[in-house]
Structure 1
């Protein structure tokens, strides 16, 4: 290739690159309104964004991975925790932690009820932006020790569960093990149970530790305070999964005004088999 051909090639390549870049830019801007749910940007969402900046939340937290990495990314926090939990938490974070044990670092911002509600609206809008799968996994608490598999994708959990089966087990047998299948549901449901619950005694996250949950379930239904419909531990666990507000513990930090912070959608989002398998898994924690 001589100098003239090299020059023409360089010019032509630059022109092609510029055209492709402009085309992708125009296409991105064309899709922004749909991807960001622009039609759902209400005055409350806009004010919530102002509250976010006013309180310098980004000095500790990230949204879409942008910001400080001192505290968890909050891109999907509204889906993982729910509005009721976030409102109670923002009202007074100290009620959700024992400072001696958990070293609570979240300061009380002294926001008004309107500011809290609008900030939650903003975070809810953020959680519904089509961000191509970011962040890639649920929020976890450092040191929570939720188990040897952490928050692995479903395929990896299935592979680990399969690898743990006794020699000679067939794939069909592995696929029918309700406890193994229940663990997959625990790790991978949306939102994953493991995002809020630890399996280590005394390690409470957004929800209480599930260590010994089967024993506690039996004790609960035998107590005079229990007002639910369950007659045994398995039924109580089913009730807790599908109707989390059917029975709440007075004074606990996981509910407010008799309404549990746990999502009430699992009864619809999970199949009957998934719920049965999840219960089979949880009943092993005695």
Structure 2
């Protein structure tokens, strides 16, 4: 090309790039209110945002992948933890950790009930923002898993299949036919339900997280049912496990980490989100733990 053609090419290319940039910017602004659920920004949400900044929470935590990466990403925290849990945690985080064992602790901020309610409202608003799956690998609450965040690279790039009940199966996995071992299916539910049971429970002896370890749950339940401490309606271990899944506050496990004001921190959504068959499979798996 001669100089005139080169100059013309540069001008046209710059103009087209500028037009594309302006168009994409305008389109983004057009969608911001919908993507961020702007209509859900209440005074409580605004107050919670101010509490977040006032207490420099971003010095340790992250939102949408932005922050210090020292403590868990809280973008989807209300999808993993209920309001009762979050209230109790923010009231006194020291009850949830052993300083000698875990070392780094969240400082007690002495937040008022209004501040805590605002923070929960803010986190709930954040959790419903359409963040397009970002960040792809957030730092999560111990043992937690978000949809797509705990899958292998192969699964994410080669089209993992969704089985009945919304569970994710590895690429090439044999589809469910209905004659599988219920314990194996129960383990799959344990790891892939929303929120995943692994977000709060460990199956290793003595490893208590947000919820108690489920190792030996069958034997412990038998002892509990034979004692006067049990407050629920179950008559055997299977019924107790079923009750704890669909009606977690029927019997409260002792300890400030697990309940507050007569309400269990266990999510109450499994009765709605899981089928009766999946709940039976989950019970069968839990019955198998030694």
TM category, shorter? 0.7 to 0.9
1:241 to 217, 237, 245: 245
Q: 1:172 Cα deviation (Å)?
A: 5.8
How do 1:227-266 and structure 2 match up within 5 A? 227-266=231-270
SS of 2:89's partner is helix
Q: 1:5 Cα deviation (Å)?
A: 2.5
**Deviations 1:121-144 (Å, cap 9, x if unpaired)?**
111111111111234468242xx6
Q: 1:151 Cα deviation (Å)?
A: 4.0
Contact 1:52 1:119 in 2 (8 A): yes
2:181 to 177, 182, 204: 177
- Cα 1:240–1:172 change in 2 (3 A) is closer
Partner Cα separation in structure 2 for residue 245 and residue 171 of structure 1: 35
Partner Cα separation in structure 2 for residue 259 and residue 246 of structure 1: 9
Residue 3 of structure 1: aligned partner:
3
Residue 166 of structure 1: aligned partner:
none
Partner Cα separation in structure 2 for residue 54 and residue 69 of structure 1: 19
Residue 81 of structure 1: aligned partner:
81
- Cα 1:175–1:2 change in 2 (3 A) is farther
**Unmatched runs of 5 consecutive residues or more in structure 2:** 162-167
Q: 1:268 Cα deviation (Å)?
A: 0.2
Q: 1:274 Cα deviation (Å)?
A: 1.6
SS of 2:203's partner is coil
Q: 1:114 Cα deviation (Å)?
A: 1.0
Contact 1:215 1:285 in 2 (8 A): no
Contact 1:145 1:200 in 2 (8 A): no
- Do residues 18 (structure 1) and 42 (structure 2) align? no
How do 1:51-200 and structure 2 match up within 5 A? 51-136=51-136, 139-141=140-142, 151-152=150-151, 155=160, 158-159=169-170, 176-200=180-204
Worse overlay, 27-36 or 213-222: 213-222
- Cα 1:12–1:207 change in 2 (3 A) is same
How many pairs align? 274
Partner Cα separation in structure 2 for residue 46 and residue 173 of structure 1: 49
**Unmatched runs of 5 consecutive residues or more in structure 1:** 163-169
Q: 1:212 Cα deviation (Å)?
A: 1.6
Residue 283 of structure 1: aligned partner:
287
Contact 1:145 1:199 in 2 (8 A): no
Residue 165 of structure 2: aligned partner:
none
SS of 2:88's partner is helix
Contact 2:94 2:105 in 1 (8 A): no
2:223 to 219, 222, 228: 219
Q: 1:195 Cα deviation (Å)?
A: 1.3
Contact 2:37 2:128 in 1 (8 A): yes
Partner Cα separation in structure 2 for residue 271 and residue 145 of structure 1: 22
Q: 1:204 Cα deviation (Å)?
A: 1.7
RMSD: 2.6
Partner Cα separation in structure 2 for residue 15 and residue 171 of structure 1: 52
Worse overlay, 12-21 or 173-182: 173-182
Contact 1:35 1:130 in 2 (8 A): yes
4+ runs of 1 displaced by more than 4 Å?
135-138, 153-157, 170-175
Partner Cα separation in structure 1 for residue 171 and residue 36 of structure 2: 36
Partner Cα separation in structure 1 for residue 267 and residue 4 of structure 2: 67
